[in-house]
Amino acid sequence: MGNNKHCLREALLSEETEGGKIRCLTCMRKCVIPEGGAGFCKTRKNIDGKLFTLIYGDISSLSANPIEKKPFFHFYVGSKALTVGSWSCNYSCPWCQNFEISKHPPDEFKNYVSPEQFMKLVKAYKCRGTSISFNEPTLMLEYSLDVFRLAKDRGYYNTFVTNGYMTPEALNLLIENGLDAMNVDVKGCKETVQKYCGADVEHVWCNIHEARKRGIHIEVTTLVIPQVNDNKDCLRSIAKRLKEEDENIPWHLTRFHPEYQMRDREPTPIETLEQGRQIGRDEGLKYVYVGNVPGHSGENTCCPVCGELLIERYIFSITKYRITPDKKCPKCGTEIPLVGEPNL
């Protein structure tokens, strides 16, 4: 606790520019940072002409979470992942559900957990893998790489729950060092993401494509927010892009609850989520889920061919699992795209 030295590490991805400034190449904002200054996320600082991360191993949150909470519904079903987050974000979403940490810049009080300590906790909590989450994990790039390498050596999986706005260079490092799966938060159509997040969603789609092409398991989440991204055209545009990428990518439509700067509206009507689910199906997606609605049938996995109930869920628990050992529907034999063995 309180150790600034351990949390200060030289950043891996940067380049010098004119006048002693440094361009950060961790995320697609590519901030140009003057001497003594910090980037948009405030986690990377130009110190004496070199770029440093201020949050290496600076853990704001740590818990052993069901993998379904990420959410991952087609990846090591029923397992637990030791999940950590740090501080800040590279997006400006006014609805953030984790604003206490994502809108909080690094400060002088550090809660340092080394990668080696983290691995001991993975074992102690009987987890099957790791997850970098809570705030935007791309900001913890250097720490993630060290954790991932150790995890792979010990037979654990590695996951990222991300807005997908990392640079191609950062994504490449993650894949080369042991990333297994990403849940990517696609927050809306191009206009929505630009207006509310200050980002270009095309970079997100490019990262989804590249990661999937290189064997990374992908699931996509959209937090459906009234008067932001809940209209049919916006949801249909996401569904179309997912179908173009792969009809088997699970799409999670999750319910918004008023938070941060958007406390002026009601939670997303369940009917809106159900309409979005139908839009996804109409566009040809095989696995569209409803989230943040405990007990809703949209949490369950059904065979896309015969409709047989295959995985029944309640919140983050698996209450029924009927997929065969060779990952097929027991009724019609359709192959179900799951990664890893279940933990039931």
What is the value of pTM for the model shown? 0.96
User: Is residue 176 one of the residues assigned to a domain?
Assistant: yes
Are 189 and 305 within one domain? yes
- The answer to the question of residue 35 being in a domain is yes
pLDDT-derived band at 106 (thresholds 50, 70, 90) equals confident
Rounded mean pLDDT of 17-44?
96
Dist CA 190 CA 23 (whole Å): 25
Looking at the 3D structure of the chain, how many domains does it have? Answer: 2
Residue 249, CA atoms < 13 Å, CB-side half-sphere: 33
Does residue 192 sit in the same domain as residue 108?
yes
% of the chain beyond a pLDDT of 90:
95
**Could you read off the pLDDT of 265-323 as tens digits, one per residue?**
999 999 999 999 999 999 999 999 999 999 999 999 999 999 999 999 999 999 999 99
Are 114 and 14 members of one domain?
Answer: no
The partner residues of 132 in beta bridges, in order of sequence, read 84, 160
> What's residue 1's pLDDT?
41
Evaluate whether residue 313 is within a structural domain.
yes
The strand pair at 80-85 and 129-132 is best described as parallel
Q: Which residues contact 116 (CB under 8 A, 6 or more apart)?
A: 150
pLDDT for 6: 84
Residue 249, pLDDT > 70, answer yes
Are 47 and 67 part of one and the same domain? no
> In this predicted model, what pLDDT tens digit does every residue of 189-221 receive, in sequence order?
999 999 999 999 999 999 999 999 999 999 999
Q: Are 127 and 215 part of one and the same domain?
A: yes
State the residue range of the domain holding 185: 61-321
| Domain co-membership, 44 together with 104 | no
- Does residue 2 have a pLDDT over 70? no
Supply the mean pLDDT for the chain.
96
**Same domain for 213 and 110:** yes
* Bridge partners of residue 253, in order along the sequence: 222, 290
What percentage of residues in the chain have a pLDDT greater than 70?
Answer: 99
pLDDT on residue 286: 98
The answer to whether position 336 is within a domain reads no
> Tens digit of pLDDT for each residue in 115-141?
999 999 999 999 999 999 999 999 999
Residue 156 lies in a domain: yes
Residue 245 has pLDDT above 60, yes or no: yes
In a domain, 329, yes or no: no
Backbone angles phi, psi at 210, to 5 degrees: -65, -45
Same-domain status, 184 and 100: yes
Instruction: Give the Cβ contact number of residue 314 at 10 Å.
Output: 13
User: Is 136 part of any domain?
Assistant: yes
Q: Is the pLDDT of residue 85 over 60?
A: yes
- Residues 180, 284, single domain; the answer is yes
Is 50 exceeded by the pLDDT of residue 149? yes
Could you tell me the CATH number of the domain that includes residue 250?
Answer: 3.20.20.70
Q: Answer whether residue 69 is part of any domain.
A: yes
